[in-house]
Amino acid sequence: MKAIFAPSLLKIILAFLLLVLSSILWRTYIISTISDTFPWGFPLQFYLAWGPCPPGEICSETNSFFLVLDLVFWYIVSGLVLSAFTRIRR
């Protein structure tokens, strides 16, 4: 169990790639179904912009807590994936 949570460069890189890939896929799906919202983050949406935005108004919001939770979630997933992969290779 400790091996899943032990930090390594491979887990960090994989977690970041999973976060970016899942965010891009989620953003693409949302933009294709709802034309005026532009989210980032999956499973929790940590950034959302919408439009059209009138001049002088802020049409976006950010939630740093959701970003941290997303990073932790994808780090745990990457640990589980790498653990399963090393178990299969043995």
* Domain definitions of the chain by residue range: 1-63
Asked whether residue 89 carries a pLDDT value surpassing 90, the answer given is no
* pLDDT at residue 35 in the model: 79
Angle (deg, nearest 10), helices 9-33 and 64-89? 120
Give the DSSP H/E element, type plus range, for residue 50.
strand 47-50
pLDDT tens per residue, range 35-87: 788 999 999 999 999 988 888 899 999 999 999 999 999 999 999 999 888 87
3-state secondary structure of 20: helix
Cβ atoms of 70 and 41 within 8 Å: the answer is yes
Asked whether residue 90 carries a pLDDT value surpassing 80, the answer given is no
Give the DSSP H/E element, type plus range, for residue 48.
strand 47-50
Q: Radius of gyration of the chain from Cα atoms?
A: 17
User: What is the reported pTM?
Assistant: 0.84
Distance CA 48, CA 76 (A): 24
